Structure 1
Amino acid sequence: MAIRTKIAAAMAVLLIVAVSIIGFVTVQTVSSHLIDQLDRKLHGLVEQKTIPVSGSEPSDETAGEMPYSEVAILVFGEDGGLVDAQPAGFADDPYSLPDVQAPPDTKGYFTVDSENGAMTYRAVSTGLVTIKGVTGTYTIVFALPTAGVEATISTLTRTVLVTGFVVGALGILIAWVVTRRGLRVVDHMVADAEHVASGNLDHRITAADPRTEMGRLSLALNRMVSRLTDAITQRDRQHERLRQFVADAGHELRTPLTAIGGYVQLYESGATPPGEKLDRALNRIGSENARLAKLVDDLMVLSRLDEEVGGDRELVELTQLAQDAVDDAEVADSTHPISLSARRPLTVVANEGQLRQVLVNLLTNARVHTPRGTAIDVSVAEHVGWAVLRVHDHGPGIPAEHRQKVFDRFYRADPSRSRATGGSGLGLSIVSSIVAAHGGEIRLDSEPGEGTAIEVRLPIARLE
């Protein structure tokens, strides 16, 4: 059953029940009120001091004086026999008398049928009383016809039924129209959702009034679709990056493996007899093996960082760590003058080994990609709660088309991948991954002819 049908059916049931209850209460209340009016009128008759009872049939003169009587009167003697009776109605066509054969036991009000069963009376008994001018005691019963009350109740009942039917029908019709118009936005949302499900991820749900439930639902669905779209896009990018990563890793691994295999084949074929040629071949095998081991180590580092294994964290004094890295770099390569600027010690929470690797990779990258004699400036400073490590070389800089990709894995500005232009292209990728794992930021600033500056920002440790 459609939701609009359910709402219309529920509205119909509620209206029918409500109208039935209201009609029933109304009819009962009006009926009780009309009966109470008859009872009050009977009470006034009981309070009368003189009651016209002659002991015989009414005369023509009496009938002429009272052409219509709204009350029927029955008088019972002390022995319980009917002494006199005055019917209600017109004198020439009186109503049938109330069907009371003996004096009632109580003085309360009661309802009784007529003798012929054609109508009912509301009656009351006075009990044993004396009548002025008449000896003895009598029981008098006054009765008023309820035809007027019954007609009023019957008319009211028909009115309630007709009105209830009309109100119920109008209510159901209005509920159907309102729910149909109110749920029209749901039909649009279903159509939009099917459009998105068909593969059109750029499509969005038609937004409704945000103050309504449907409006909030449409906004929530749009946010959900956007997140799903972003997730799918991110997944596709990761798949593409993985594919490129596998291709690049295979290319990088193939080069040393091919070199090692070639020298082994030369040795096995006897083309490298003992002597200088064999020593050179073994030296090349060892060099390529070291290159292969370094590449595998870098890949393992990236794998651990991708799994968010940051290692043990401790308080690390960044200024001292930078000083150690600068000293090591000057020993490894004296052709690049390196200077360190640091005003005061700065402490961060980090894995010391990984942070050392960041410094080593940045300094190595600066030395490898700049000519001999190029100065390198290293600085450690504080800026708004961040420890800022900056490595600035005064080399040729990075072309604009390569700046956005230098942190990608296996990316190198030289597409030939010659060893003379650097390593495997994993150094800055490792730096970026380590900084991200420590909740930091990395920035690149480079202009042709003005050198390259790489800035690493890490949160300063708060010591209490």
Structure 2
Amino acid sequence: MRQRARRLRPRSVRTRLVLISTVLATLAVLVSQAAGLAVMRSWLTGQIDHRLTDFRPPPPAAYAPAHGRRPDAPEPREDALPSDYRVFFYTSDGRLRPDSLGSGSGRPRLPSTVSALTLESGRPTTVPAADGGSRWRVIADTGPDGRRVVVALPLDTVEGATSKLLWFSLAIGAVVAAGVGLLGSAAVRLGLRPLARMERTALRITGGESALTVADTDPRTETGRLGIAFNTMLGQVRAALHRKDASEQRLRRFMADAGHELRTPLTSIQGFAELLVEQPRLPAARRREAHELIARNAERMSRLVDDLFLLAKLGYAPVAHRETVDLLSLAADGVGAAVVAHPGREVRLAPLGRGGGDGAEPALDVVEALGDAHQLSQVIGNLLANACRHTPPGARVEVRVGTVRTGPDTGGTDRPGRGSATAALPAGVPACVVEVADDGPGLAADAAQQVFERFYRGPAAGPDGAEPGSGLGLSIASTIAEAHDGRLEVDTRPGYGSTFRLLLPRSVGAGPGDLP
């Protein structure tokens, strides 16, 4: 039975709304009609009670024949009682007389003896009819001679009126139910039209039209708010799909680039190894050269694998070790290492100047930030190595350390001619800065946007025979900066050199030169 009832239960929201509205409207009509019927019946009964209580029996001569008259007495008048009143008498010995005063047919069911009469004097009561017809409203009284008298009025008028009103109420309820069912169905269909449009839009979206949105977005209506939420959800889903597609594209490109980068040294190692195996009698100089090339390519592969592992580690794990790091000391160590690795190259350490009211602070003796000293040192080393490798031998390289408040002129935010792989920092916040600037040829705008991508190689302008890098140095440096909640960016344009800028949150005091 439960399963059958569940199958019969309407599943459509439209059908449920129509059924609910029809039932509620019909119940409201029936309840109101029932209340009106009860009020009308009570009012009509009250009118009869008022007539009964106001009734005064006729003079004894009018109802004496009902007691027994003398033979010479006149015949009783049939109009001795007004309207449809009926008067019944009990004899002196307490029995109900079979005759009565009044016209009309039928009579109430009264007890045959006065001792069985339970009517209270002066209080109207409803009793059934003796012949099973309409009921009667009766009141008991005492006649002038002390005998009990019962005055009665029929309730056929009241019952007829209430019966007609009852059938009228039922007819009105049926008409209202039919009307509400028809009109309610049309009204509900009209009201649910935005939901129907939303349903069709969702079906089209699932069919492949992913650029569609819901048009009904009025925040004052429920469907409009639902449309806003639906469009917001669609936007988030599209953004997630775009991020997923972009991530997959980057992963495919990364795998292809990594495979290409590893294929070159592997091919060289394989070629020289086959040469040594197939020609065991090679001259000693050729054999030594082959061994050196194999070792060099193996070392290159090892560095490449280490860089890839570091990128993967930085991408999936936060900075494990944070301590107070003196950026000025790290920059000085990086400059010293660059001078040793690139003899004859002019590399110097300089203060970070104001630059014409750009908001920068003078260089401090100590510029401290929280982070991993080894990783930050690697960033500075990568920037210096990149500047020395991709600029002419006579180009100067300058490392500047200081503190600024982020902005278009001081760094940390986006502007034309500035490239970065990470999001901009909030404007106006204090930051520690390490800049590596050169007066080389600079970069074009498209190259400035690609320079932080993995396996991107710019044109080498260093000494001939310099070993090309893996194209991962700037990508690793940018990832390290992002892991430190900072940003690595480049300001450049052709013919004006390049400035790579590392910005880190300034969360550690640095003495008397703190920014306000």
Contact kept in structure 1, 2:332 and 2:349, CA below 8 Å: no
Other structure's SS at 2:46 match: helix
Find the counterpart in structure 2 of residue 394 from structure 1. Answer: 439
Q: Which moves more between the two structures, 365-374 or 253-262?
A: 253-262
Counterpart check, 1:424 vs 2:470: yes
String of CA shifts for 1:97-139, please: whole Å, max 9, x gaps: 323233322315322233433332101223xx351xx3xx211
Find the counterpart in structure 1 of residue 349 from structure 2. Answer: 339
Other structure's SS at 2:265 match: helix
Structure 1 residue 286 displacement after superposition:
2.4
Structure 2 CA distance for aligned equivalents of residues 387 and 373 of structure 1: 29
String of CA shifts for 1:225-244, please: whole Å, max 9, x gaps: 22222222222222222222
Query: Aligned match of 1:223 in 214, 232, 254?
Result: 232
Find the counterpart in structure 1 of residue 414 from structure 2. Answer: none
Structure 1 CA distance for aligned equivalents of residues 489 and 99 of structure 2: 118
Contact kept in structure 2, 1:369 and 1:422, CA below 8 Å: no
Other structure's SS at 1:37 match: helix
Other structure's SS at 2:78 match: helix
Residues 1:63 and 1:49: Cα distance change in structure 2 (over 3 Å): closer
Structure 2 CA distance for aligned equivalents of residues 401 and 223 of structure 1: 33
CA RMSD in angstroms, aligned pairs only: 2.7
Find the counterpart in structure 2 of residue 121 from structure 1. Answer: 136
Counterpart check, 1:72 vs 2:93: no
Find the counterpart in structure 1 of residue 513 from structure 2. Answer: none
Structure 1 residue 38 displacement after superposition:
2.0
Contact kept in structure 2, 1:256 and 1:289, CA below 8 Å: yes
Other structure's SS at 1:370 match: coil
More strand as a share of residues: 1
Q: Aligned letter for 2:394?
A: G
Unaligned runs of 5+ in 2: 1-10, 353-362, 406-428, 511-516
Q: Normalised by the size of structure 2, how large is the TM-score?
A: 0.80
Find the counterpart in structure 1 of residue 313 from structure 2. Answer: 304
Unaligned runs of 5+ in 1: none
Contact kept in structure 2, 1:318 and 1:348, CA below 8 Å: yes
Counterpart check, 1:280 vs 2:289: yes
Counterpart check, 1:165 vs 2:174: yes
Find the counterpart in structure 1 of residue 387 from structure 2. Answer: 366
Q: Aligned letter for 2:349?
A: S
Contact kept in structure 2, 1:394 and 1:451, CA below 8 Å: yes
Residues 1:19 and 1:463: Cα distance change in structure 2 (over 3 Å): farther
Q: How many residues are treated as equivalent by the alignment?
A: 449
Find the counterpart in structure 1 of residue 45 from structure 2. Answer: 35
Instruction: List aligned pairs for 1:26-175, cutoff 5 A.
Output: 26-45=36-55, 53-56=63-66, 62-64=77-79, 68-83=82-97, 85-89=99-103, 94-100=104-110, 101-103=112-114, 104-107=117-120, 108-126=123-141, 129=142, 131=144, 134=145, 137-175=146-184
String of CA shifts for 1:383-404, please: whole Å, max 9, x gaps: 1222233222111011223222
Structure 1 CA distance for aligned equivalents of residues 99 and 433 of structure 2: 120
Find the counterpart in structure 2 of residue 348 from structure 1. Answer: 369
Instruction: List aligned pairs for 1:186-205, cutoff 5 A.
Output: 186-205=195-214
Other structure's SS at 2:113 match: coil
Contact kept in structure 2, 1:208 and 1:218, CA below 8 Å: yes
Structure 2 CA distance for aligned equivalents of residues 419 and 311 of structure 1: 38
Counterpart check, 1:319 vs 2:328: yes
Query: Aligned match of 1:20 in 13, 26, 30?
Result: 30
Residues 1:8 and 1:114: Cα distance change in structure 2 (over 3 Å): same
Q: Aligned letter for 1:119?
A: S
Structure 1 residue 64 displacement after superposition:
4.8
Structure 2 CA distance for aligned equivalents of residues 64 and 281 of structure 1: 149
Q: Aligned letter for 2:431?
A: W
Q: Normalised by the size of structure 1, how large is the TM-score?
A: 0.88
Contact kept in structure 2, 1:72 and 1:143, CA below 8 Å: yes
Residues 1:315 and 1:142: Cα distance change in structure 2 (over 3 Å): farther
Percent identity at matched positions? Answer: 32
Other structure's SS at 2:55 match: helix
Structure 1 residue 50 displacement after superposition:
6.2
Structure 1 CA distance for aligned equivalents of residues 374 and 350 of structure 2: 20
Structure 1 CA distance for aligned equivalents of residues 97 and 234 of structure 2: 96
Structure 1 CA distance for aligned equivalents of residues 268 and 75 of structure 2: 148
Q: Aligned letter for 2:126?
A: T
Structure 1 residue 368 displacement after superposition:
0.7
Residues 1:75 and 1:423: Cα distance change in structure 2 (over 3 Å): same
Structure 1 residue 19 displacement after superposition:
2.4
String of CA shifts for 1:30-59, please: whole Å, max 9, x gaps: 22232233223322237x796753143896
String of CA shifts for 1:282-335, please: whole Å, max 9, x gaps: 333222222111111100101112213432222323333223222222232231
Q: Which moves more between the two structures, 361-370 or 323-332?
A: 323-332
Q: Aligned letter for 1:427?
A: G
Contact kept in structure 1, 2:128 and 2:134, CA below 8 Å: yes
Structure 1 residue 369 displacement after superposition:
0.5
Counterpart check, 1:444 vs 2:453: no
Structure 1 CA distance for aligned equivalents of residues 503 and 26 of structure 2: 72
Residues 1:315 and 1:179: Cα distance change in structure 2 (over 3 Å): farther
Residues 1:284 and 1:411: Cα distance change in structure 2 (over 3 Å): same
Contact kept in structure 2, 1:69 and 1:87, CA below 8 Å: no
Structure 1 CA distance for aligned equivalents of residues 376 and 18 of structure 2: 68
Contact kept in structure 2, 1:185 and 1:208, CA below 8 Å: no
Q: Aligned letter for 2:87?
A: I
Find the counterpart in structure 2 of residue 453 from structure 1. Answer: 499
Residues 1:365 and 1:147: Cα distance change in structure 2 (over 3 Å): same
Structure 2 CA distance for aligned equivalents of residues 390 and 400 of structure 1: 19
String of CA shifts for 1:388-445, please: whole Å, max 9, x gaps: 3322211101122322211111112359xx9857311111111121122222223221
Structure 1 residue 340 displacement after superposition:
2.8
Structure 2 CA distance for aligned equivalents of residues 458 and 327 of structure 1: 23
String of CA shifts for 1:165-199, please: whole Å, max 9, x gaps: 23332322332122101111122111111111112
